[in-house]
Structure 1
Amino acid sequence: MNILGYWLAAIISIALTGCTGVVQLETAQTLSAEQAIVFAKVNVIVEGKQIKLSTSGLENSLTIEFRRVGSPVIMEYKVDENEYFYWPLPPGEYEILGVYGFSTETGWLSRQISLAQPLWIPFIVEAKVEGLYLGEITLKSHKNQSSNQRINDNYSEAVKEFHRRYPGASKDPLNRVVKLRPLDPGTYSRVSYICNGDWGVSCSSTNIGLSPTSPDRLQNARVTSTRPTLRWLPSSIPGIKYDVVIYEAYDSTWRKINLDRLTGKRRWRRGQLLAYGQGLTETAFTPDVSLKPGTTYLWSIRLRRGETISTWSQVKRTLSHPGTFWSHSVKRREMWFNFITPDK
C-alpha cells in the first residue's frame, strides 16, 4: 500500500473511533511524481557503543514518530539495519516528534535500555521534488535514562546513497538539514537533582519536586480556560526563581507500551514546545497563547539559582514494561504533570 492509501485508511479509522490514529510506514521502494522521498541516516549510541538496529521484535529496535502538521495521524517507521530511512511523502508540512525502542544487553542477566526521547525536526515537502535530505541524526542513551542528540550535515555521502538506492533519480536531493531544538529549553550551565536538598522542596514517593496547587491534581486535571493560570507551592529558600514549561501531549504506540496497568493512567509523550517562562519570581504562570480546547497538555516547574537549574518536577508511577517476568517487567517511572483544557 502506498502512502496515500495509508493516510486514507488512517483518516477512516479516526472518523470511526474518534481517536488519534497510528499508522506504520514502509520504506519507499520507487520514485514517484506525486511524492518526495524524505531520508536521513540514524546512528544509535548506547553507553558509548553504536548498536546495530533490527526490525524484528523489540531487541535493538528504534521507531521514529512523525506526522503532518495539524493531523491527528501519527506515522511510525522502524529503522532497519541499513541505518537510513526513506519515507514516500506527498507535499506538505511535517514534524518528527520523537523516537522509542529498546537496546538489549545480553549476558547472564539481560537488560533492556530504553531509547525513547523527544526529537523535534520540522520539514516541508515541496511539490515536484524527488528527494529531501534531513541529515545524519545521532541519538545517545544511557542506563541512567539520560539522553542527548545531535544532527550533522553529511550531504556528500547522502547523495551517493540516494542515487545508489534510486538509480532512476534525475536530480540530487535537496539539502534540508536543520538545527535541533534542545531537549531542555532555556539557558543554564549546570543541572542539579531537585530532591537533593539544595532546593528547599519536599519530595514524596509520588511527587518529585514542587507541588502544583492549580490545577490541584498532578494528572488528568480539567482546567476551566484555554489560558489556564498554573500555580505551585514555593521553595522554602528565599530568592529562588522558577522556570515553567508547557508541551503538547500526543498519543502513540509507545504510550500504549508504557500504559500503567495498575491504575489505567496514560504516559503521554512530549510533543511541540508551546509555552516557556524563565526566571519567574512568582509561583504562577499564564501562557501567552491560547491552547486548543479539549486537549491534554504536559507541564512542569523547575527551580533556578543563577545559571544552575534543578531537574523538572514530576510525578512517579509504577509502569509495566516488556521484558522478562522477573528482571524488568515493572518499574517506577517519572512522568510529567498534565491537564486537560475545556471542550469549548
Structure 2
Amino acid sequence: MSVTIKDVAKLANVAPSTVSRVISNSPRISEKTKRKVRKVMDELNYHPNLNARSLANSSTKSIGVVLSPTVNTSFQNPFFAEVIRGITSYINQKDYSLYFITGKNEEEIAQLVNKTVKGGRVDGIILLYSKENDPIIQYLNSHNYPFVLVGKPYSHLEEITYIDNDNYSASREVTNYLLSLGHKNIAFVGGEKNLLVTKERLRGYEDALKLNGLRIIDEFSIFTSFTREGGMNAVEQLLSINHEPTAIVVTDDILALGVISALKNKGFSVPEDISVVSFNNALIAELASPPLTSVDINIYQLGYEAAKNIIYKVEEPDGSEKSIIVPYKLIIRDTCSINNVRKLIES
C-alpha cells in the first residue's frame, strides 16, 4: 500500500493540512516544522501526487504570462528571454508551469485573458508590460483575480502588486552622466509612448535637463518600436532636424544597436561624434561594437520576483499587496565620451 499524506502527518505529529502546506512551501509554516515534516517524508519515501493535489485544490498549477502584441519581435529582444528565465527559475521550484497569452493586437489579448480567467486555465497571471489605461489590468483588478505586473501601474498603485526599477531615477542618472561629459544637445529614443516605462524614463531625462538649466527640445524625443529597425528609424528622424544631438539616451539595448548601426551608416562615429547610453544591460550590450554603456536593471531578478509574488498571492490569497523595486546600476563601457566642444576647450 502506498504512503499517504495522513501517514506522514501521523508520524510527524501534525495535521494533514500542515503537511500539505509544507509541500507547497507555505510561508505560514515555520522552518522547524518544515524540516521535521520533510524528514518524515524522506523516511517514508513519500512523494506527493502533484496532479491529484491540483485537482483536489481546484488548482491548475499553472501561471499565465501575458506578452505584448509584438510577440514576434518580443522574442527577438533579450529582455523577454531573460525575464522569462527568471520566472521559470522560481516556478520550477514550486512545480508550476507557464501558460503564454498573446495575440495579434491588444483586443485579441484582452479577449484571451478573459477566456483564460473564466475557463480556470491558470491560477494567476503575470503581465510583462504596463501601459496607460490598460483594459487587462482594469479587468483583473476589478475581478480581484491574482496577478502581478512587471512594470509600474498607471493607477491603483496601492491595490496592485508590481515589480519594477526606479526608472525615473535611472534615467536622470544616465542623463546627468552625459551632462557631466559636457553634452548639452541630448536626444531621447524611447519605446511606445503609452508604455509606463517610456513615460518614467522620459520624465527622468527631461527633469535632468531642466535642473541643469537646459530647455527641452521636443524634436529630440523620438518614440518607436522596441526593435533594431525602430532605432534606425529614430536616427533618420533625429538627423532630419536643424541641429544634431551630441548624445542619445536610448531606453532599450536592441533599440540602441539600431541607433549605432544607423549612425555608422550616416558616417558618424560612436562615441567620438555622438555618445549613446542605453537600458537593460543584456548580453548584447557587452558584445556590441563598441561595447554599449547600459543600465543594468537586473532583468532576471524582475522575473524571479514576479513569479515569487504571484505564487504567494495564489497560495496565500489573504496576503497584503506590495511593490518591489529592484536595484539598477549604470555599467560604463565604450559608447560615451567627452563632448567634442569640451575636448577642444580642455586641449
Q: State the TM-score, normalizing by the size of structure 2.
A: 0.23
Higher normalized contact order (CA 8 Å, seq sep 6+, divided by chain length): 2
Q: State the TM-score, normalizing by the size of structure 1.
A: 0.23
Larger gyration radius, structure 1 or structure 2: 2
Q: Higher strand share goes to which structure?
A: 1
Q: Higher helix share goes to which structure?
A: 2
